[in-house]
């Protein structure tokens, strides 16, 4: 049985896309109706929303290990209501690198940013039949800790895992984004209607590694139509009482602050490069959270790590390529999207 995903804010809408950059050209294979992508240079994807949101959006993305250097990254500009830019980069030196990226966008069609009850809004998408699922798996033990009823896990090799969905999507037009725990980076090797393959690398050396947990969000359509619908339709999920949230954080004088999602959590600067959100309304169990660096000057910020995550709080750590914690320069920060549940039982 599928359930509608709720939000504490009015009129939330989800968009998602997959594209590959090659010099000044873009090949987009998912989300064509909702997001238009062009390229202005190596590793750059300039995204324009087909329908502008009522206020600024939140974006998270993952690079693909299929065609980007192992341990590679993706970062973005701070999204507006209508556009954003993503840049994929190689691990060694952080130079821009052409290849494939997967992205999810959470926005709101209402201009009113007032937080309501936890079930105030219903998440929609203009891609018909959209379903959003969340997983956490532990690479050290090869076990799924969140979402085990919805997938199985196979270890293909060191730092190389495949989640196979028990309930496949209707088409291969699926998108996955992922974040690691500990000093690791997760890359999406491939994603289709039946499975997603994740590879993990050490941030400081780009060596393959198992020794961490990974948070994964997967969006896809149960319809054969990948185009954009005339009207937004509810986004569904498999587990009971799902609730989506998203935050956009920027730093000023080494202090984090957030404006999107205000009131949904309290934000504390807990250490250098470490920001903790304590939820206003706790979840019944730990959510799945993915984060990505954003800002105009990301030369010192390469990775976002989900340092800890419980039903009451999530801690995001910002790391350099050498795995050192760092406060971003003024005007830079990170975006975060999470999926949680207000029912303690996974069914």
Query: Could you read off the pLDDT of 19-69 as tens digits, one per residue?
Result: 999 988 999 999 888 899 999 999 999 999 999 999 999 999 999 999 988
pLDDT in tens, 287-302: 999 999 998 865 555 7
Distance CA 273, CA 191 (A): 31
- The residues spanned by each domain of the chain are 11-109, 127-237, 242-341
pLDDT at 343: 96
**Is CATH 3.30.565 the classification given to domain 127-237?**
no
Assess whether pLDDT exceeds 90 at residue 266.
yes
Helix, strand, coil percent content, the chain, rounded in steps of 5: 0, 55, 45
- The whole-model pTM stands at 0.96
Class of 11-109 in CATH: mainly beta
Strands 274-279, 265-271: pairing is antiparallel
65-108 confidence digits (pLDDT tens):
999 888 888 999 999 999 999 999 887 656 788 999 999 999 99
Average pLDDT for 190-215: 90
pLDDT of 198: 97
Asked if 11-109 and 127-237 have one fold, the answer is yes
Query: Which of 10-14, 152-156, 258-262 bottoms out in mean pLDDT, i.e. has the lowest?
Result: 258-262
Residue 114's CB: how many other CB atoms inside 10 A? 11
Give the span between the Cα atoms of 100 and 311, in whole angstroms.
Answer: 33
Classify domain 242-341 by CATH architecture.
Sandwich (2.60)
């Amino acid at each position: 049985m599928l359930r509608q995903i709720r939000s504490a804010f009015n009129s939330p809408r989800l968009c998602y896309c997959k594209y590959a950059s090659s010099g000044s050209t873009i090949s987009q294979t998912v989300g064509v109706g909702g997001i238009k992508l062009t390229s202005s240079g190596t590793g750059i994807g300039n995204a324009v929303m087909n329908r502008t949101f009522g206020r600024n959006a939140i974006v998270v993305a993952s690079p693909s290990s299929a065609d980007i250097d192992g341990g590679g990254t993706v970062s973005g500009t701070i999204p507006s209501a209508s556009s954003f830019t993503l840049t994929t980069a190689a691990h060694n030196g952080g130079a821009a690198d052409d290849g494939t990226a997967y992205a999810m966008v959470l926005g709101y069609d209402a201009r009113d940013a007032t937080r309501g009850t936890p079930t105030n809004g219903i998440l929609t998408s203009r891609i018909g039949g959209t379903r959003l699922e969340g997983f956490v798996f532990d690479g050290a033990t090869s076990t799924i800790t969140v979402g085990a009823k919805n997938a199985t896990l196979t270890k293909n090799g060191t730092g190389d895992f495949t989640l196979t969905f028990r309930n496949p999507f209707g088409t291969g037009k699926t998108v996955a984004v992922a974040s690691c725990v500990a000093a690791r980076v997760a890359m999406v090797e491939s994603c289709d209607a039946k499975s997603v393959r994740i590879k993990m690398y050490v941030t400081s050396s780009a060596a393959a590694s198992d020794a961490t947990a990974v948070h994964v969000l997967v969006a896809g359509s149960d319809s054969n139509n990948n185009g954009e619908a005339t009207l937004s339709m509810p986004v569904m999920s498999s587990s009971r009482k799902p609730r989506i949230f998203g935050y956009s954080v920027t730093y000023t004088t080494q202090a984090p602050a957030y404006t999107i999602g205000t009131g949904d959590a309290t934000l504390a600067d807990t250490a250098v490069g470490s920001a903790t959100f304590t939820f206003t309304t706790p979840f019944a169990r730990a959510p799945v959270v993915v984060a990505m660096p954003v800002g105009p000057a990301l030369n010192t910020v390469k990775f976002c790590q989900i340092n800890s995550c419980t039903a009451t709080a999530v801690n995001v750590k910002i790391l350099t390529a050498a795995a050192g914690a760092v406060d971003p320069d003024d005007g830079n920060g990170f975006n975060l999207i999470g999926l949680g549940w207000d029912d303690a039982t996974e069914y």
